Structure 1
Amino acid sequence: MSVPHPGGDPNANLYAQPKRDVLDRVPQITAVEYVPDDIEAKQLRAVFDPARLDPPTGPNSPELVVAWYRQEPNDWFRVNYTDPNTGFHAGWHQDEDHPDLGRAHFQYTADDEADRWGVAFEHETPSLILWEIVEELLEDVRPTYQDSNDER
């Protein structure tokens, strides 16, 4: 069961910078939208072109969903990647779900395998944390956890 975020609902102003400075600049991402819309934005959804991922996946587009709440002393966020073609899921969460893992944790599910562990980010700014996550997803996580499981 997930622990709800303790902050208020975000809006498009909170998401404008991560959208513009991160997600709109990732060449593998073909669309970024505010969910449910740009007025009541509670999340960002980025859609990947499956053919632009290395190695490609497809035919359905994987998604990255970002939920972020600014609060003191630490922001609450969840950044979740899902590939509908393989059922692979990876998430970076800074929430209260697993206090034994520290402030933030990474988790993944692939085939019948799942694991999670604590993580630390080099930066504190939401856009820079999101850059770290997207880079890790594309350079390490997909090749190590999703793609190695596809070869079984």
Structure 2
Amino acid sequence: MSVPHPGGDPNANLYAQLKRDVLDRVPQITAVEYVPDDVEAKQLRAIFDPARLDPPTGPESPELTVKWYRQDPHDWFRINYTDPNTGFHAGWHQDEDHPDLGHTHFQYSSPNTEDRWGITFEHETPSLILWEIVEELLEHVRATYQDANEEP
């Protein structure tokens, strides 16, 4: 069970910045939308073109969801990638869900395996953290944890 965020509203300006500075610039992403809408934005949802991913997946579009709450001393966020074609999920969470792993952790699950461990980021700025996550997802995570666990 997930521990809920500690309160407060998402920062609409932050979501606009993350959309503009990161998600709108990723060529594998074809659409970014505010959920439920741009007035009551509680999260961002980025839709991937399955044919633009390496290796391609499909026919359904994978999604990346971003929930981010600004607070001291550490922001609360949950960034989750889900591929409905393979059942693969990856998440980067800075919350209180797994205190034994520190305040930030990575987790993944596929039909064959799952794991989680504590992580740190090179940057502290939300846009740069999201860039790190997207780059890690596209360059390392999908190939290492999603594709490596497929049955031969």
Please indicate the TM-score interval, normalised by the length of the shorter structure: over 0.9
Matches within 5 A, 1:98-113: 98-113=98-113
Partner of 1:137: 137
Matches within 5 A, 1:114-125: 114-125=114-125
- How far the C-alpha of 1:111 sits from its partner, in A, is 1.1
Matched residue type, 2:109 = T
Runs of 4+ with deviation above 4 angstroms = none
Matches within 5 A, 1:35-46: 35-46=35-46
Which consecutive residues of structure 2, in runs of 5 or more, have no partner in the other structure? none
Count of residues in correspondence between the two structures: 152
Q: In the aligned structure 1, how far is the partner of 2:42 from the partner of 2:129?
A: 18
Is 2:141 aligned against 1:147? no
Matched residue type, 1:99 = P
Q: In the aligned structure 2, how far is the partner of 1:15 from the partner of 1:98?
A: 25
Q: In the aligned structure 2, how far is the partner of 1:63 from the partner of 1:34?
A: 13
Partner of 1:22: 22
Give the TM-score normalised by structure 2: 0.97
Which consecutive residues of structure 1, in runs of 5 or more, have no partner in the other structure? none
Partner of 1:4: 4
- How far the C-alpha of 1:10 sits from its partner, in A, is 1.0
Structure 2 counterpart SS, 1:86 = coil
Q: In the aligned structure 1, how far is the partner of 2:139 from the partner of 2:91?
A: 15
- How far the C-alpha of 1:11 sits from its partner, in A, is 4.2
Q: In the aligned structure 2, how far is the partner of 1:15 from the partner of 1:7?
A: 17
- How far the C-alpha of 1:7 sits from its partner, in A, is 2.8
Is 2:61 aligned against 1:61? yes
Q: Taking every aligned residue pair, what percent have the same amino acid on both sides?
A: 84
Structure 2 counterpart SS, 1:138 = helix
Q: In the aligned structure 1, how far is the partner of 2:122 from the partner of 2:143?
A: 22
- Contact kept? 1:7, 1:71, Cα under 8 Å: no
- The 1:25/1:151 distance shift into structure 2, 3 A limit, reads farther
- Contact kept? 1:31, 1:48, Cα under 8 Å: yes
Q: In the aligned structure 2, how far is the partner of 1:144 from the partner of 1:14?
A: 31
Q: In the aligned structure 1, how far is the partner of 2:138 from the partner of 2:121?
A: 16
